[in-house]
Structure 1
Amino acid sequence: MNTPHLTAASFAAIDASLMLVEIDFDGTIRSVNDCFLAHFESRREEVLGQPYRHFCSSIRADEVGVDGVLARLAAGEPVMRTFEHVGPQARTTWMALSMLPVKDALGHASHVLILARDVTEAKTQSVENQCKLDAISRSHGIIEFDLSGNILDANETFLKLTGYRLDEIRGQHHRLFVDSEEQRSPEYRQFWQRLGRGETASGEYLRFGRNGRRLWIQASYNPILSPDGQPAKVIKYCSDITESKLKGSRPR
């Protein structure tokens, strides 16, 4: 049975859109394509024979263990990693690398083909988003529920607010924080039914922490959708407004 191969046009398309580098198992560069040279603003004669780690941040190269990666490649194992590289004018650039061992006629790994693309913009956005999430987590209580209201997870801010440990509340129902009268009400059942349908809810709520301590919170309940667009779980963000409620003033 004949196995179909990529056409010359397909190879040309890959060569025109991705950075391609061939290296030996000691990391020495044996060939590069024009995309790589253009990205790093280098001439071919400046690159060939250089160690590939020359283009990697020295700190990041040590952290991710370039030597360990090369050992895995020499054993015939493909490796997919994102490395911090040093571009022109010492500019940081993040590269997503698909590192593929190339076999000789005897089936032995002879060298490595690297397919690389610049993911700096996506990496920068990811780091920025994580910083925003960390800031929200420090200033807000965050708790996650399944669609039935059972607790999946909670951050430290929420645990400090309610006085519980995570192992005490995980698997418990949201009603743990609600008084018995509200638990039995049709409105409470409808509240979770709406969240289960993907509707949001927000407002000021009276809740109860450990030992029945009364808490007023400003909260929003946000259904999180699965990749197919269906509600998968609910995340609540909340802040403590007990003091302002007791003073009879509304929070700003």
Structure 2
Amino acid sequence: MICTIDAAGRFIQVSASCRQVLGYNPEELKGCFTKDFIHPKDRSKTVEFFKYVSTGNTNTSFENCCIKKSKEEVSLSWSAVWSAEDKSFFCIERDATAQNAAAKEIHHRKELQQLLLAHGSDMMALLDENGNYLYVAGTSVKTLGYEPDQLIGVNALHLIHSEDVAQAQQALILIQQTREPVKLSDIRIKTVDGQWRWVEITVSNQLENPAIKAIFVSSQDITQRKRAQLQVTQSEQRFRSLFQNNPDLMLYQDEAGVILDANPAFLSFIKKPKEEVLNRPLYDFLPQEVVPIFKKKLEEAFAGSEVKFKADVNLKELGQKILSVVKVPLRIGHKVVGVHAVIKDITKIIQAQRTIEKQAQKLNAILESITDAFYTLDKNWNFTFINGECERVLQVNRQALLGKNLWSSFPPDITQQLYKPYQQAIETGETIHFEAYLNTYKSWFDIKVYPSEEGLSVYFQDVTQQVNSKEELEKLSLVARKITNGVVITDAQGLTEWVNEGFTHITGYTLSDIIGKKPGTILQGPETDPATIKRISNKIKTGKPFTDEILNYKKTGQQFWIHKEVTPILNERGEVIKFIAIQNDITERKKVAAEL
């Protein structure tokens, strides 16, 4: 409202906004004294204000209480300037009601802020004396899932877990007996979806505080902290259970090696009660010769390292033991405050390992003694064992080849020959026996493949000479079949491998009759000269070609004389590998000679 007032205090001009401020029309106010519209309690203060302004001062913060046409009181804020020329005051008045209400609200909030600063919270609430919510605010309201309006009028005890209600009720009774705040720890409050969150609550009686007039409650959500505490507690319980029930020997030691705790397994091992073990150095229970190593390893653990070692310990009552020891430092911050020791009696395990190692050495010796070349493959075709003969024949370094893949370790001319039979052995689970010519080695190999759950075992030998001899024998056989003389081929021991049709015609014996047998045992009879038999035997032993005559018997039992030429077949080393004997029937010549 804008107006001019003369020196006597009468309204001269008044703006139309006076209707909103005082409820009067401008015409109703013109010529009227201002004091008639001012509350009696503020009239003298208002007179002093105008006197102060008339001396040339300005003041925009003056406030007084006026009476509206409706007889309601209204607070007005005045700004006034004195015009000496016009002998009047130029004034602007504003309704200060909203401003004063805001000031009260600010004061109220300051009071609440002071309480929040004093107690700190995620959720702040005001309760009436019966514990019903009057006001709720804070981040935890959203955490609980409620809208603030949902809680107004609800009794706070209805949200508290039944096991925690008694504690909350006691707090409400206590705060009415004292002005000191009451703190409640570990209270569970129900969320909108029926879950529970842990809070820490401070309750303060502000019923007598005119700015509050309620019970002030500040709550801090400690769910994460509580869960962490529960996890720590559970972890400690699990560790304690593990410590107490572990079959391994477990200790907790300080830096001097003193035993601060020992589990039942350790006590049982050394056959002593706990009271005789605690607060004594571990070294009291060890023979002197191993004490230095245990001290050294304890120092390493206290330096921050996890330590593992084995020790042969001669315990008087228990005998010689092999112990596996692990020392784990326990840190608090950056400092090692103790060491957990886990001790395992591995005597039987080590003894078993040594037995296995000896057996493995024996097995290795056996495999090395095999005259055939030998190697094993796992299911991924990787070499797991190669004996010395295999290394020699294949001209490889077995240490470099172990663990390598068969198919990537040899050229295609070898792998292409081996893949199909090897794969067949894996798929069928049956032993595969075959011969293969490997061009890389310019040799024939006799190969036996044995499948197992682990992979394949392969035995092989170079049979190039045998194959060549066989080919030569086949060529010779083609020739021998065409002659009428008897032809016998034996191995180095004199066992028959082949005879021709001429032999059958002369003796009556077929190949099936004589194969695998010495010809002499079949053909010689009662009147065969023993001296001749011995002479021929000696000639055979020389490994040189020879001729001789001997009396033999046909299959029919008829006697006949033969002249035979025996030629030994030698290998590259000059060793006899076969004999070829060509026989001529000289019976008629012997008869003619006898008649003469």
Provide the TM-score with structure 2 as the length reference.
0.32
Alignment of 1:126-137 (within 5 A): 126=232, 129-130=235-236, 132-134=238-240, 136-137=242-243
Alignment of 1:1-252 (within 5 A): 18-22=122-126, 29-59=133-163, 61=164, 65-67=167-169, 76=180, 78-79=182-183, 81-93=185-197, 95-99=198-202, 101=204, 111=215, 113-120=217-224, 122-123=228-229, 125-126=231-232, 129-130=235-236, 132-134=238-240, 136-137=242-243, 138-139=245-246, 141-183=249-291, 185=292, 187-205=293-311, 212-213=317-318, 217-227=323-333, 229-245=334-350, 247-248=352-353
Measured after TM superposition, the shift of residue 158 of structure 1 is 4.1
Between the two proteins, the alignment pairs up a number of residues equal to 233
Partner of 2:396: none
Q: Is the 8 A contact 1:19 1:36 kept in 2?
A: yes
Same amino acid, percent of matched pairs: 13
Rate the CA distance shift 1:230–1:118 in 2: closer, same or farther, 3 A.
closer
Structure 2: 5+ residue runs without aligned partners? Answer: 1-109, 356-596
Measured after TM superposition, the shift of residue 164 of structure 1 is 3.5
SS in 2 for 1:20: strand
Measured after TM superposition, the shift of residue 150 of structure 1 is 0.9
Rate the CA distance shift 1:123–1:146 in 2: closer, same or farther, 3 A.
closer
Q: Distance in 1 between matches of 2:189 and 2:311?
A: 49
Q: Which digits, 9 at most, give the CA deviation of each residue in 1:94-140, with x for residues without a partner? A: x24153545766xxxx8453331243453564366346535633335
Measured after TM superposition, the shift of residue 206 of structure 1 is 5.4
Q: Distance in 2 between matches of 1:157 and 1:52?
A: 53
Q: Distance in 1 between matches of 2:220 and 2:157?
A: 14
Q: Distance in 2 between matches of 1:71 and 1:141?
A: 55
Measured after TM superposition, the shift of residue 162 of structure 1 is 4.2
Q: Is the 8 A contact 1:18 1:117 kept in 2?
A: yes
Letter in 1 for 2:318: R
Rate the CA distance shift 1:115–1:86 in 2: closer, same or farther, 3 A.
closer
Root-mean-square deviation (Å): 4.4
Rate the CA distance shift 1:167–1:21 in 2: closer, same or farther, 3 A.
farther
Rate the CA distance shift 1:188–1:22 in 2: closer, same or farther, 3 A.
same
Pair member with larger Rg = 2
Q: Distance in 2 between matches of 1:24 and 1:208?
A: 78
Q: Which digits, 9 at most, give the CA deviation of each residue in 1:176-228, with x for residues without a partner? A: 34222212x3x33322322332222124445688x84366554421222233x
SS in 2 for 1:233: strand
Structure 1: 5+ residue runs without aligned partners? Answer: none
Letter in 1 for 2:282: H
Q: Distance in 1 between matches of 2:112 and 2:169?
A: 34
Range moving further from structure 2, 82-91 or 164-173: 82-91
Measured after TM superposition, the shift of residue 82 of structure 1 is 2.7
Measured after TM superposition, the shift of residue 232 of structure 1 is 1.5
